[in-house]
Amino acid sequence: MTMDYEDLDRRARDILRGNDRGGYTLPTDGLYPYQWNWDSAFAAWGFAEFDLARAWTELETLFSGQWPNGMVPHILFHRPNAGYFPGPDVWGAEGIGPILSSGISQPPVAATFVRAIFEKDRTLGEPHARALFPKLVAWHRWFRDWRTEAGAVVVTHPWEAGRDNAPDWDGAMAAIDPVGVGEYKRRDTSHVDPAMRPTKYDYDRYIWLVQLGRRLRWDEAAMRTENPFRVADPAMTFILMRANRDLAILGRALGEDVGEIETWIGELEAGAAGLWNEEIGAYDSFDTRARKFSGCVTCASFLNWYGGVDDERMLSQIERVWSAKRYAVPSLDPGHPQFNSKRYWRGPVWAVFNTLIGLGLESCGRRDHAARLRETTRALIGEHGFAEYFDPIDGSPAGGGTFTWTAAVWLAWASPSARGA
């Protein structure tokens, strides 16, 4: 099949423009009507391929919602949208941050993309990077203060991880009795086949955790004590490790003191080593309440290279998972009993995760593996469009269509014309 790459580039730019709401970008029109944290950082990276000024605006709008404690929320509710659940009235975070928002964060990819965009044009980017630098430091310090245990980054809600229904969370979710959640109507299952989304069992527990945070007024010290969901996540740990490495490089370029950041990197390296599950021979999530590994090889397991940890032991794992299905990298090991090729983070391929894994492989000198992953991602998008995620068996698109971050990683990484990070 011959692909028209120029047409795909044009379509990707059109998707970013079409999801642009003036200062921030929706993940996709209809399904997600607000600004999502890591989606927005990917959007900025994509915009930077053709509109650097717009890329900086995206990041600045994201950080305009930063809380006084340094946390950058996972959703910013810039405009009312009565049909979305759970909206700001459910989160109950009014008056905490400068913009109505959720009470949790998301994977901190922003610093990596700030550095990448800055390096495209340092003269244009310097004032923007200089203004964002202390905000990034404050956010990363919040992670250090409130989301680390023994050096690994924990998540306090599946939505905070960005991998909502990953099997990593099953043990911690089973420990929650979602009493009193009440009735609610989801938007996602009215836009997308429910077989592709988290179940009601999952969603009841998601909402119970939101209600707990609301009751505690999102007080981090109180939630550390009362929240039963605290799972150390390799994805969050390696993403923050990479973000700190890039933030330190950015800081040195700006003449800033980066000693504190370098200390964080060492702590995260030690924490990541503690997420090695010898039983499965891979990095794995660890339930800090139950003191148990999840026992799952997921796409998160392969972010060690992205974090800068060139672990030979993971090469055989990625080869094994790669060979099991036509399209890599599935979000869950196809040999796992919970594998489902269409249900969100229980099997589908996500182009954004392929990108992070590919960038990591490249930065660690695993160029053959990186090129192979880039080529399979290019084929997946080229053949099946800019979907939210894809079936790893036949590549069929799943979830939302015309998705911002899929278009962004096409422009910045997967397309033959991409300049990369």
**Whole-angstrom distance, CA of residue 32 vs CA of residue 38:** 13
Decide: helix, strand or coil at residue 185: coil
What's 407's DSSP letter?
H
Chain CA centroid to CA 3, Å: 29
- Catalytic: which of 204, 233, 246, 388? 388
Q: Which residue do the tokens 């209600």 mark?
A: 211
Look up residue 317 and give its amino acid: Q
Active site residue 312: no
User: Each residue of 65-91: b (16+ CB within 10 Å) or e?
Assistant: bbbebbbbbbbbbbeeeeebebbbeeb
Enumerate the H helices of 200-343 as residue ranges. 200-215, 220-226, 234-253, 259-273, 304-307, 313-324
Q: Residue 248 corresponds to which tokens in the numbers above?
A: 């330190």
Q: Which residue do the tokens 């990484």 mark?
A: 413
Enumerate the H helices of 82-162 as residue ranges. 88-91, 110-120, 122-146, 158-161
Cis omega (within 30 of 0) for bond into 86? yes
Dihedral angle computed from the Cα positions of residues 410, 412, 413 and 415, in that order, rounded to the nearest 10 degrees: 50
3-state SS of 274-331 is CCEECCCCEECCEECCCCEECCCCEHHHHHHHHHCCCCCHHHHHHHHHHHHCCCCCEC
**Residue 359: CB atoms within 10 Å:** 24
The CA–CA distances, whole Å, from 271 to 110, 151, 232, 238 equal 21, 4, 9, 10
Active site residue 375: no
**Whole-angstrom distance, CA of residue 56 vs CA of residue 44:** 7
- Catalytic: which of 160, 164, 362, 391? 164
Could you list the active site residues?
164, 388
